[in-house]
Amino acid sequence: MGTDETNPTLTVYVNFLSDASQYFVQHNLEKIVREYVRPGLLNVELRFLSYRPDAVDTYLVGDDEGEARAARAAHGVWLVEPENFWEFFEFMYWNYTTKTYTHARLESYMGLGGVRNTMKIANRAYEDRYDGLVRSATDEAVRYGISDVPRVRLLRDHKHGNYADILGWIRTRLDRVNEGSVRTHSLRPGTKDETPVHVIDSGKPGPTAFVVGGVHGDEPQGYISAGEMTRLRPTGGKLVVVPEANRRAIERHARHTEDGDLNRQFPTGSTPESKLARALWSELVAHDPDVVVDLHSSSGIYKHDGKVGQAVFPTRATPENAVDACARVDDHYVDLSEYPSYYDFDCGNSLDGSRPLLIHKVYGDLHLPGYLVETTRKGTYIEDQVVWGTAAAEALLWQHGFLFG
């Protein structure tokens, strides 16, 4: 919720079975929207915290699956009918119940809340379709030390949502956020390759990360996940994101263009081989990054069918970080009740500059930590691919000193 994606974002943690969350939505959240969101000062993002951060297989409020099921349904409404989400959200909290959210109750509440595809979304919620998104809220809560609801977070700080002077608490932190800047400029302006570069500078000391998506146009997870990362706000340092590096390939839903495969145009020790490759490399070098992440997807699965999906390929600089990132994604995001165990992420072979790929050149020429993140399109939903890719990228950046507000 907000008027401009470059605004600071207040993250809100709530639960559909929490009476404290109901009070927050009906009172303090209304005040926050009126004072900060509508005037264009702040965006709001919701997190439905349904699992306990200190016991991730235990429900936060109730003693059954209902609260997680309702949270999955909320994600389903957002993804299937985003235009009806806020009406549904308001209905849920103004018609609060402590009864378990069965299939029938979910369908009923969604219908009364203005949702059209009630059966489709309720079925998906029962099939755990969006459970990775729900569990990602718990993972984030663990990272920031959040253990209850309602909570609001801006920068690294968080406060109980029903704190009496919540507006003053937000104002103090907004002043700190606004010390930074969010700028966008174009790569290859005025050409068919023109594509935005997002520079998100905290205004405070810290590392610089360079994130790329959309090098291959037939890998939507890469450019969607990178697009999601433009909404992150580092609490220190700078985040640079090129979500759609190969705009022409994306428009064609193709791996490459008439200029060839962009990710085969970065030879170590030599000038990149196309105008777009040279522009992308020059942009990367100009920001002097401490870490580089390139987001992709594959038609198969690493160590299962000879392809490269469900793996993170690190440069020789920091292979141990890839191992840790894979473990985090496996523990919190890959639902083994829905996918076989070989869908777990693995750390791939180290990249050393021996091939003309972007991350190879990052190590071969700059000797930097870099990571090629590959999810799989094989038998998976795009929503899961995006969750996995974004979670892996954030886990990698976290190990290089990044926290996000």
pLDDT tens, 28-63?
999 999 999 999 888 999 999 988 888 777 888 876
pLDDT tens, 230-278?
988 888 899 999 999 999 999 999 999 999 999 999 999 999 999 999 9
Query: What percent of the chain stands above pLDDT 90?
Result: 71
CA 257 to chain centroid, in Å, comes to 28
The conformation of residue 340, written as its DSSP 8-state character, comes to -
Could you tell me if 368 and 315 are in contact, meaning their C-beta atoms sit under 8 angstroms apart? yes
Which are the contacts of 268, defined by CB distance < 8 A and separation ≥ 6? 353, 354, 356, 360, 361, 364, 365
Q: Which CA distances in Å does 258 have to 31, 47, 243, 246, 388?
A: 53, 43, 21, 12, 31
Q: Please say if the pLDDT value at position 98 is more than 90.
A: no
pTM, two decimals, is 0.73
Which are the contacts of 101, defined by CB distance < 8 A and separation ≥ 6? 16, 66, 67, 69, 70, 73, 109
Q: Which two tokens stand for residue 77?
A: 């409404």
Q: Comparing 225-234, 267-276, 361-370, which segment has the lowest mean pLDDT?
A: 225-234
Q: Please say if the pLDDT value at position 302 is more than 90.
A: yes
Tell me what pLDDT residue 133 has.
Answer: 86
Q: What is the per-residue burial (b if ≥16 Cβ within 10 Å, else e) of 372-388?
A: bbbbbbbebeebbbbbb
Cα distance from N-terminal residue to C-terminal residue, the chain = 16
- Over residues 288-300, mean pLDDT: 97
Query: What percent of the chain stands above pLDDT 70?
Result: 98
- Over residues 390-395, mean pLDDT: 94
Tell me what pLDDT residue 289 has.
Answer: 96
pLDDT tens, 139-190?
888 888 898 999 999 877 899 999 999 999 998 888 766 666 788 999 999 9
Which are the contacts of 155, defined by CB distance < 8 A and separation ≥ 6? 173, 176, 177, 233, 235, 405
Tell me what pLDDT residue 157 has.
Answer: 86
Q: Which two tokens stand for residue 364?
A: 């071969």
Q: Which CA distances in Å does 279 have to 31, 273, 362?
A: 46, 10, 15
Tell me what pLDDT residue 138 has.
Answer: 87
Tell me what pLDDT residue 277 has.
Answer: 98
Q: Which two tokens stand for residue 373?
A: 């993140």
Q: Which residue has the tokens 């191992």?
A: 323
pLDDT tens, 322-337?
999 999 899 888 888 7
